[in-house]
Amino acid sequence: MPLISLSHLEHDLQKKYVLSCLADIWQEMGLTVHVGPGFAENADLCVLHHNITRMSPTDVPTAPKGVRVLNGEVLDISKRRYSALRLQPGDDWDGPVIVKSNLNHFGAPEQRNLPRRTQLRMKAQRHLARLNWDLARTLPKKTYPLLESLDKVPGWVWEREDLLVERFMPERESDHYCLRGWLFFGSASYGYRLVASDPLVKVGTMVRYEYIDDVPPELLRHREEMKFDFGKFDYVIHDGRAILLDANKTPSFAGDRRSERILRLARAVEEFLP
């Protein structure tokens, strides 16, 4: 039976990952799944699943000769690479702005590899940031500051390569805010829209969600340019145009692990098998 080899750096493939859902289904389909830092020598298909923002080509494990590596060329998902909303000091923009991490998932995966002393210092800064993120010189934990104008951005933010400032251009529905997502594997995909009372569309403030079928052409272009085989894009629609906010190559999942949508993604692996 075909062997799918997943290159994953953590101790195990946690249930939170979409790839964990797919791997369970693949095994139910009669496929063999191998998980480890490197690729199995007898793999028929490989999937690169490293939860870090940037990788060097030399960090990609060697796959068996002639075997496809899904997401093998997705080496940089930093927001500065694709952001259409990025601002610089002095730009002509008089609306609200948002300060973000340039790294995926607030840079948490990268922080795990820092020296212990640096981790402790950053932890202390995050505690202070709950009270005053400007004084702490770091972003609050798991959120992004919204500011009323560009001139309210602290000077130190512009000096940080791991941060960026964007125009805040939310998708609105009446008094609510919307965030859309597109999850894909090969030719299979599905989309959704979350509606919430909070500008950052936090789960605790969500009032409803819906599934959507249309894939905006702007997202298709981003996927092609960034060479994604599998992943999730977060975006908004503004003035009829899709604006990519986040590109994730190791997406997480909370929901029905055997929904028809997830099953459809899993079955798409057959497109890549010999």
> Is residue 110's pLDDT more than 70?
no
- Please compute the mean of the pLDDT values over residues 17-22 and round it to a whole number: 97
How far is 174 from 105, CA to CA, in rounded Å? 29
Q: What is the pLDDT of residue 44?
A: 98
How far is 263 from 261, CA to CA, in rounded Å? 5
Q: What is the pLDDT of residue 203?
A: 77
CATH fold for domain 171-271: D-amino Acid Aminotransferase; Chain A, domain 1 (3.30.470)
Q: pLDDT tens-digit profile of 229-261?
A: 999 999 999 999 999 999 999 999 888 999 999
Q: What is the mean pLDDT of the chain?
A: 93
Q: What is the pLDDT of residue 129?
A: 72
Domain boundaries, the chain: 3-70, 86-167, 171-271
Q: What is the pLDDT of residue 114?
A: 66
> Is residue 16's pLDDT more than 80?
yes
Q: What is the pLDDT of residue 116?
A: 75
> Is residue 117's pLDDT more than 80?
no
pLDDT above 70: percentage of residues in the chain? 96
Using pLDDT thresholds of 50, 70 and 90, give the confidence band for residue 109: low
Contact in structure between 209 and 201 (CB atoms under 8 Å)? no
Which is more confident, 11 or 109?
Answer: 11
User: Which residue pairs, CB below 8 angstroms and at least 24 apart, start in 24-28?
Assistant: 24/257, 25/258, 25/262, 25/263, 25/266, 26/266, 26/269
Task: Provide the b/e sequence for 47-80 (b: ≥16 CB within 10 Å).
Answer: bbbbbbbeeeeeebbebbeebebbbbebbebbbe
Q: What contacts 159, CB < 8 A, 6 or more positions away? A: none
Using pLDDT thresholds of 50, 70 and 90, give the confidence band for residue 201: very high
Q: Which stretches within 105-216 are classed as H helix?
A: 108-111, 116-129, 133-136, 155-158
Confidence (pTM): 0.93
Q: What is the pLDDT of residue 1?
A: 87
Which of 30-44, 111-125, 254-268 has the weakest average pLDDT?
Answer: 111-125
Q: What is the pLDDT of residue 72?
A: 97
